């Protein structure tokens, strides 16, 4: 799927309120804008730096709140 054509979802009227129905994201992604590649590389590097930080700081849980995701 082209990243530039992706729509995150739609709002649906349900009785007296609206709800947001997200679009599926488990697909192969592609994009034409090379700035997206640059941003993804920078984000990946920042995650690596954060990971390295957790290895050198004693009692890292005091500084970084971990959030476990169910897989």
Q: What is the domain extent for residue 23?
A: 3-57
pLDDT digits over 8-67, tens only?
A: 999 999 889 999 999 998 888 888 889 999 999 999 999 998 888 878 888 777 776 666
In a domain, 66, yes or no: no
Q: What is the rounded CA–CA span in Å between residue 16 and residue 31? A: 38
In a domain, 64, yes or no: no
Closest CA to 10 of 18, 2, 25, 20: 20
Q: How many domains does the chain have?
A: 1
In a domain, 68, yes or no: no
pLDDT of residue 10: 94
pLDDT digits over 49-64, tens only?
A: 888 887 888 877 777 6
Closest CA to 40 of 30, 51, 27, 53: 30
In a domain, 51, yes or no: yes
CB 29 within 8 A of CB 37: no
């Amino acid at each position: 799927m082209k990243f530039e054509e992706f729509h995150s979802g739609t709002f649906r009227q349900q009785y007296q309120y609206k709800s947001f129905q997200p679009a599926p994201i488990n697909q192969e992604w592609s994009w034409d804008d090379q700035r997206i590649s640059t941003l993804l590389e920078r984000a990946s590097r920042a995650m690596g730096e954060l990971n390295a930080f957790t290895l050198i700081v004693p009692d890292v849980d005091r500084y970084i709140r971990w959030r476990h995701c169910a897989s």
